[in-house]
Structure 1
Amino acid sequence: MIKKKLFFTVTLSVLLSTAVNAQKKDTYTRKIDSIITASSPLKFNGVVLVSQKGKIKYMKSNGYRDFEKKIPLKTDDQFEIMSNSKQITAVLVLQAAERGKLDLHTPIKKYLPSLTQSWADSVTVHHLLNHTHGISDIHKPAAFKAGSQFKYGNLSYMLLGDILKNTTGKSFKELAGLLFKKLDMNSTFIYNSRNSQSLVPGYKSENNHFEKVKETFLNDDLAPAAGVISTVQDLVKWDEALFKGKLLSRNFRNRCSLLPLPLSTMFSGKKVWDLGTM
């Protein structure tokens, strides 16, 4: 009788625990659903994925990949991730530095000898990585002394793409492709006009009316700054690899954690995505 009572108590506890967890998950799901399906102040059109400890907790798409034809979005649709591409370029640069191909604190003139402006003798790779270089145009003087101010832009990452090619012998597209293959990011690639695959076209919204963007501003030169195409599932793989130390050795990550922000945030345990500048 005691054994039966004990079995019943344990079983009841497990069932109650499962029910509570299911209720929490259901509440959690409903809360996110209510956000992505809201029509005010702006309709959300996209894909949302929430993961925890390597497991997907929530993944849904909302809206259309083609408004005119009313084709719904799918969770495996590919998007231009825009400035989030910079994080991938930064890792490629750091990998090259760890292999001794380049030095983060060496002036970029060494790696880009064709530059003629005097700032090339003081701006370092590190300055390019964290947007403290002061370069507004490669044919003009710097806007400020390297390291003295922060000014976000795409130019520095376009230059980093050139530095990678000159120091590794491979183009940014080749290096990124090898990295994506290593991480099984099979739906991720570098934009080019001849290979859009299932890329979702861009839309702009005015008063909750979506209008298709006829031409992307992406091109081959801009690829290291904004040219990566990916899916939410592949970005989870990237996120896990980055924060679990699969891309750089622990020793090198510790050295990078001592660098000034924002580069050090990549290795601080905080998951920082540059969503506001896409």
Structure 2
Amino acid sequence: MYPQKDNPEDSISKKIDQHIKNYAKSDQYQGTVIVAKEGKIIHKDAYGYANREEKTKNTIHTQFLIGSLTKSFVAVTVMQLVEKGILDLHTPLKLYIPNLKNELSEHLTLHILLKHQSGLSPHLERITNFENKDVTSQEIIQIINTSSLSFSPSTQYQYSNLNYTLSAIAIENVTGKSFADVLQENTFDPLQMNHSGVERIANKPKERAKGYYKNAFGIKNDENIVSYALGSGDIYSTVEDLLKWDQALYQNTLLSDKSKSLLFKGENATFGNYGYGFRIQEYQIGRGKNKNGILTRHGGTMDGFMSNLHRYTDDRLTVIILGNIRPFPIRQMTFELKEIALGFKINERNRKTLE
């Protein structure tokens, strides 16, 4: 008999697995990972504990809060409603959120919000601490109405959770449904993302991991109520569900090519390389220094959770990392898994960024 040849993809999966385990064995990482090329899964696995107190291990079906990756879902939902003629990107918010104070509602549009060019405070908790109970959209508006703009809209870039919270409230107001229900109908159900949703006290998912924070004194539970992060950090999901989402963005399942061109139309670095709900950057292709591809990405942090979804579009390579311990070097880890998946050794190529 001839010796059986190793499958190159099996070899890559083993290298990825060992690399992740090097992080996990020192408690630098726990969570789930999926790496896919052209929709075909190269590697998927779970690492560490979903619940450290009960010694429950993470599985590939464990759910995690995805933090600011929620924003990508908001942007897609806005564009779905734009395609239906229900929302307009350049109409003042006054039409969609009439109880928003005039200073904000007359000068802000969905385009400005999605691009993070509003001048709103970066975080709701910088206005008031609202983390310890579920809050309603109307209560959030009341708090936002106490704020003011730090610069004239469209003149600068400043990342703000409030931009996407207001976008989610506009979605709720024009549909007459909760943000959760709109996502369920427009995205989760069509894509059979059966392990994803919007978290609230009444519907905390049973398979969700607990979040943890690590410092010099040890590892402790780090969780809170997330309703204050409406539209900016309140979605939970799994790596398999997020891969379905990623692959749908290569098709016209959710949006037309015209709408997707706006999602992935990044501004220059001064304006954050930001499209609608995605950062748009270049990444190195091959060993040459002059050929670059397009990376569309977003990540997130929510209490003891971190997430990253990188779409190396010219290679049709997707790397998704979900974790329930922080901090850990998630962007570095994402870059390293991409290098392995493309057949390179870590640090083999001369690069300018970790993307």
Q: TM-score, normalised by structure 1?
A: 0.84
Over residues 73-125 of structure 1, what are the superposed CA-to-partner deviations in whole Å (9 max), with x where a residue is unaligned?
11110111111111111111111111111111111122111122423212111
The aligned amino acid for 2:21 is: T
The aligned amino acid for 1:270 is: L
Q: 1:162 to 1:126 in 2, by over 3 A?
A: same
Q: For the residues of structure 2 that align with 1:257 and 1:75, how far apart are their CA atoms? A: 29
Q: For the residues of structure 1 that align with 2:149 and 2:266, how far apart are their CA atoms? A: 23
Q: For the residues of structure 2 that align with 1:34 and 1:267, how far apart are their CA atoms? A: 29
Identical-pair percentage: 30
Residue 274 of structure 1 is matched in structure 2 by: 299
The aligned amino acid for 1:47 is: T
The aligned amino acid for 1:157 is: Y
**Offset, 1:265:** 7.9
**Offset, 1:47:** 0.7
Instruction: Name whichever of 81-90 and 191-200 sits farther off.
Output: 191-200
Q: 1:107 to 1:265 in 2, by over 3 A?
A: closer
Q: For the residues of structure 1 that align with 2:102 and 2:277, how far apart are their CA atoms? A: 31
**Offset, 1:203:** 0.6
**Offset, 1:257:** 5.0
Q: For the residues of structure 2 that align with 1:68 and 1:56, how far apart are their CA atoms? A: 32
Residue 198 of structure 1 is matched in structure 2 by: 207
Larger RCO, structures 1/2 (Cα 8 Å, 6+ apart) = 2
**Offset, 1:53:** 1.4
**Offset, 1:211:** 1.4
Residue 227 of structure 1 is matched in structure 2 by: 234
More helix by share: 1
Q: For the residues of structure 1 that align with 2:96 and 2:266, how far apart are their CA atoms? A: 21
Unaligned runs of 5+ in 1: 1-11
Q: 1:151 to 1:38 in 2, by over 3 A?
A: same
**Offset, 1:168:** 2.0
Q: For the residues of structure 2 that align with 1:235 and 1:180, how far apart are their CA atoms? A: 10
Residue 121 of structure 1 is matched in structure 2 by: 106
Indicate the SS of the match to 2:249.
Answer: helix
The aligned amino acid for 1:134 is: G
Residue 64 of structure 2 is matched in structure 1 by: 79
Q: For the residues of structure 2 that align with 1:27 and 1:157, how far apart are their CA atoms? A: 41
Residue 321 of structure 2 is matched in structure 1 by: none
Instruction: Name whichever of 165-174 and 143-152 sits farther off.
Output: 165-174
Asked if 1:108 corresponds to 2:81, the answer is: no
Q: 1:57 to 1:143 in 2, by over 3 A?
A: same
Indicate the SS of the match to 2:297.
Answer: coil
**Offset, 1:259:** 6.7
Asked if 1:56 corresponds to 2:63, the answer is: no
Over residues 15-48 of structure 1, what are the superposed CA-to-partner deviations in whole Å (9 max), with x where a residue is unaligned?
89x725x1x3343223222321125875211111
Indicate the SS of the match to 2:219.
Answer: strand
Residue 15 of structure 2 is matched in structure 1 by: 31
Q: For the residues of structure 2 that align with 1:105 and 1:250, how far apart are their CA atoms? A: 20
Residue 166 of structure 1, aligned match among 163, 173, 193: 173
Q: TM-score, normalised by structure 2?
A: 0.67
Instruction: Name whichever of 55-64 and 243-252 sits farther off.
Output: 243-252
Q: For the residues of structure 2 that align with 1:83 and 1:258, how far apart are their CA atoms? A: 19
Q: For the residues of structure 2 that align with 1:258 and 1:156, how far apart are their CA atoms? A: 18
Residue 316 of structure 2 is matched in structure 1 by: none
Indicate the SS of the match to 2:90.
Answer: coil
Once the two structures are superposed, the pairs formed by residues 84-95 of structure 1 within 5 Å of their partners are: 84-95=69-80
**Offset, 1:256:** 5.2
| Residue-pair matches, total | 260
Unaligned runs of 5+ in 2: 122-143, 268-272, 281-293, 307-355
**Offset, 1:142:** 0.8
Q: 1:189 to 1:56 in 2, by over 3 A?
A: same
Indicate the SS of the match to 1:182.
Answer: coil
Instruction: Name whichever of 151-160 and 80-89 sits farther off.
Output: 151-160
Q: For the residues of structure 2 that align with 1:251 and 1:59, how far apart are their CA atoms? A: 32
